[in-house]
Amino acid sequence: MTDTPANDDEGRIRQWLSELSEHVRAVDFSGARRLFAEDMVAFGTFSDFLVGREAVERLQWRKVWPSIAGFRWRLDEVKAMVGADRLFAVAMASFDSTGYSRDGEPYERPGRATVAFRRRAIGEDWIAHHTHMSLCRGVPQQSFGRKP
């Protein structure tokens, strides 16, 4: 990757994704909050349409993060579209994780996401204003793992 402005923008997107995966693996809700706008909008596995980071955390994150393991983005496959003003971007990324059946058997839990970002100034970190995360076809929608 060369040191061009666009690559810096995309690098910051990959950095954002990497940081989020650390918070998911650690079940660190409070640490993840700064990555998301307070008025974010999300679609996900357990809720069709959520408005507000608090609602997303309560109705999505807290139902998923403690029940899975090994969440990681496929960072080398991330696709990003950065707006001409470099203040808006959309990223598409795939992820992998491990889910658990009711009897505790692990299963592969791949999925994909679209994340819409904004920021106030070029060079600042991206903030997610929209996420749409979904599991790949055929993957069980619920994991029954239990992390503290």
pTM for this structure?
0.91
Do 44 and 61 meet the contact criterion of CB atoms below 8 Å apart?
A: no
Q: Where are the domains of the chain?
A: 5-135
Q: Please state which architecture CATH assigns to domain 5-135.
A: Roll (3.10)
The tens digit of pLDDT for each residue in 36-95 reads: 999 999 987 777 889 999 999 999 999 999 999 999 999 999 999 999 999 999 999 999
Q: Tell me how far apart the alpha carbons of residues 107 and 18 are, in angstroms, rounded to a whole number.
A: 22
36: amino acid identity, one letter: F
